[in-house]
């Protein structure tokens, strides 16, 4: 069982830079490109540091922020990566990250924002979502990321219609993006049993989020869902997500993630098996390291 860190660090001096459209838009076009190019260099270097940190601490996966290249798909200040004056250096750095992650066995992934809904009822949202996924496919190829995790989106006017739209949208993607898509059950609309038929028809793996499952269980129990989701990955190592509700399961808003993951929330069916589990906790690397110590203790106990 390998654990994954998501996007950022809490205490480690590894920082990814951001940009806003307001700041960038106030600059002349050449200055925009230079500014964004400098950020791209800094983020490529931060990504190398993140992968190195994961390898040194035996954390086997890292989720890369969708803002690796800030504002790249923005309708007003967006840009092609090759337009950045620093692009050759950025590309070289990302190739080094790809080789480092492969050598150190650190799995990389992306999880686009909630506004990426290729199954939306709005044609404009579909088009922007597909453009965003193509951008993610390009980034994934550059760094060697294995998958791009998506929620199903909204369920209007009903789940069957919405999921059919999702399948049609995904079929429009290039092979580079399409082959990396994985669906994830969410905590408001689509359950594991909603998505498994889509995964079977479309040949997509299912990322099982156990927190979401407990908030929106559907008709399948957690342990059964673990096995069914794992089967969608074929020979590949399955991926899953874990988090604990802030304030416990009796809180008024159990959807909110806590700082750490409580061991009682970790499915025992995960222990001792080949699976990657992204830790979605507010305490970031602190939470991953604490959970890793608990997982190691369980392994020692089982071995004894």
Domain ranges for the chain, please list them. 2-13+60-76+105-303
CATH topology of domain 2-13+60-76+105-303: TIM Barrel (3.20.20)
Residue 242 near residue 261, CB atoms below 8 Å:
yes
The per-residue pLDDT of the chain, averaged, comes to 97
Chain segment 15-74, per-residue pLDDT in tens? 999 999 999 999 999 999 999 999 999 999 999 999 999 999 999 999 999 999 999 999
pLDDT for residue 302: 85
What burial class does residue 240 get, using C-beta atoms within 10 Å of its C-beta: 0-12 exposed, 13-18 middle, 19+ buried? buried
Query: According to the model, what pLDDT value does residue 188 have?
Result: 95
Whole-number pLDDT of residue 303: 85
Distances (CA, A) of 60 to 69, 104, 208: 24, 8, 18
91-102 average pLDDT score:
98
Question: pTM of the predicted model, to two decimals?
Answer: 0.96
Indicate whether 304 pLDDT > 90. no
| Per-residue pLDDT tens digits for 184-197 | 999 999 999 999 99
């Amino acid at each position: 069982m390998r654990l994954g860190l998501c996007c950022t660090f809490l205490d480690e001096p590894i920082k990814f830079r951001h940009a806003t459209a307001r700041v960038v838009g106030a600059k002349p076009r050449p200055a925009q490109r230079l500014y964004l190019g400098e950020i791209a260099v800094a983020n490529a270097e931060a990504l190398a540091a993140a992968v190195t940190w994961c390898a040194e601490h035996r954390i086997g996966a890292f989720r890369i922020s969708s803002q690796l290249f800030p504002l790249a798909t923005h309708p007003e200040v967006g840009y092609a990566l090759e337009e950045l004056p620093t692009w050759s250096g950025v590309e070289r750095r990302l190739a080094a990250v790809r080789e480092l992650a492969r050598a150190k066995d650190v799995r990389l992934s992306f999880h686009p924002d909630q506004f990426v809904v290729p199954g939306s009822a709005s044609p404009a949202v579909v088009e922007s979502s597909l453009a965003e996924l193509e951008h993610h496919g390009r980034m994934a190829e550059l760094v060697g990321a294995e998958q791009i995790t998506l929620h199903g989106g909204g369920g209007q006017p009903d789940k069957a219609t919405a999921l059919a739209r999702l399948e049609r949208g995904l079929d429009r993607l290039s092979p580079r993006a399409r082959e990396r898509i994985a669906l994830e059950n969410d905590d408001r609309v689509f359950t594991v049993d909603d998505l498994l038929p889509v995964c079977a028809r479309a040949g997509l793996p299912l990322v099982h989020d156990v927190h979401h499952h407990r908030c929106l269980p559907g008709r399948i129990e957690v342990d059964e869902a673990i096995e069914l989701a794992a089967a969608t990955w074929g020979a590949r190592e399955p991926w899953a997500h874990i988090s604990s509700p802030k304030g416990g399961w009796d809180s008024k808003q159990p959807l909110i993630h806590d700082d750490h993951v409580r061991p009682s929330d970790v499915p025992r069916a995960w222990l001792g098996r080949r699976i990657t589990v992204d830790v979605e906790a507010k305490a970031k690397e602190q939470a991953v390291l604490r959970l890793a110590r608990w997982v190691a203790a369980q392994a020692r106990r089982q071995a004894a």
